């Protein structure tokens, strides 16, 4: 079974630009969660999607948005990039979102904002 | 507001010895706790978990202890091996249906196992 894939793996953008990151979950998984990892802050929850609906949202500004498609693939978008948005963005998929033992993370997308 | 705290950013331990990683939480609604291990350039991988109805869970070399009254959990790795060198994250969930898919993570502890 293929794991969670994230594209692109690395991205360099400049302040003010926007970016779209993609996450393809494990086949059969309907829940996709997104996290931001920065040094010293651990992983901060961004949002979770289940069956194309945003079910949960973390404390991030409206510049951070996401969506999920009918095949469970998910994208997140960050508009008007700021230097502080430089981070590793991780997505995780699970069958329903209820069982964390069945949650698997992708390798992440490293975003650098210059 | 960091509800899950790992106060030791790093830990160095000799191969064969015990590694003890600590984690504190503030939210008394948390009822499920997990430890993840993360290597560079990879996503976190699930290691071990514990429900609030238990105070100990063991899986091979890994044991997690939960002290609900102190809102504290710890991960013991015995014996430590060089392949255990990684960042370890503590995470928690309150189990509510409207929290599904959402975990609160600590900042992580970098473990280095020396020969």
pLDDT of B41-85, one tens digit each?
A: 899 999 999 999 999 999 999 999 999 999 999 999 999 999 999
Q: Which of A43, A58, A107 sits opposite B41 (nearest CB)?
A: A107
* Interchain proximity A90–B44, CB inside 8 Å: yes
If 0-12 CB within 10 Å is exposed, 13-18 middle and 19+ buried, where does residue A69 land?
exposed
Name every residue in A having a CB less than 8 A away from some CB of B.
4, 31-33, 35, 40-45, 48, 50, 55-56, 58, 90, 92, 94, 96-98, 100-101, 103-108
Cβ distance B82 to B12 under 8 Å? no
pLDDT of B89-115, one tens digit each?
A: 999 998 776 677 788 999 999 999 999
Task: Say how far apart CA B101 and CA B31 lie, in whole Å.
Answer: 14
pLDDT of B2-29, one tens digit each?
A: 899 999 999 999 999 999 999 999 999 9
Among chain A residues, CA nearest to B37:
A105
Strands A109-113 and B104-105: unpaired
For chain A, the distance separating the N- and C-terminal CA atoms, rounded to the nearest angstrom, is: 37
To test the contact with chain B by mutation, choose from A21, A42, A104 the residue with the greatest count of B C-beta atoms within 10 A, namely A42
Average pLDDT, chain B: 93
- Arithmetic mean of pLDDT, A39-56: 90
Q: Comparing C-alpha atoms, which of B10, B2, B20 is closest to residue B92?
A: B2
* Interchain proximity A56–B101, CB inside 8 Å: yes
Reduce the secondary structure of B6-73 to three states and give it as a string: CCCCEEEEECCCCEEEEEEECCCCCCEEEEEEECCCCCCEEEEEEECCCCEEEECCEEEEEECCCCEE
- Arithmetic mean of pLDDT, A58-65: 95
pLDDT of A66-111, one tens digit each?
A: 999 999 999 999 999 999 999 999 999 998 877 777 789 999 999 9
Could you tell me how many residues make up chain A? 114
Among chain A residues, CA nearest to B50:
A101
């Amino acid at each position: 079974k293929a794991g969670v894939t994230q594209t692109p793996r690395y991205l360099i953008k400049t302040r003010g630009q926007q970016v779209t990151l993609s996450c393809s979950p494990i086949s059969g998984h309907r829940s996709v969660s997104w996290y931001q990892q920065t040094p010293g802050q651990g992983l901060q929850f961004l949002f979770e999607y289940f069956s194309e609906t945003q079910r949960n949202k973390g404390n991030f500004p409206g510049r951070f948005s996401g969506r999920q498609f009918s095949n469970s693939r998910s994208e997140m978008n960050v508009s008007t990039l700021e230097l502080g948005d430089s981070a590793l963005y991780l997505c995780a998929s699970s069958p329903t979102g209820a069982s964390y033992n069945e949650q698997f993370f992708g390798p992440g997308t490293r975003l650098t904002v210059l | 507001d960091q509800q899950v705290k790992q106060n030791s950013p790093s830990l160095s331990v000799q191969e064969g010895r015990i590694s003890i990683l600590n984690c504190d939480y503030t939210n008394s609604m948390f009822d499920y706790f997990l430890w993840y291990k993360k290597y560079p350039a990879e996503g976190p991988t699930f290691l071990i978990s514990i429900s609030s109805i238990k105070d100990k869970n063991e899986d091979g070399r890994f044991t997690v202890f939960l002290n609900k009254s102190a809102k504290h959990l710890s991960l013991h790795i015995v014996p430590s091996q060089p392949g255990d060198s990684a960042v370890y994250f503590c995470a928690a969930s309150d189990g509510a249906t409207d929290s599904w898919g959402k975990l609160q993570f600590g900042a992580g502890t970098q473990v280095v196992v020396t020969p």
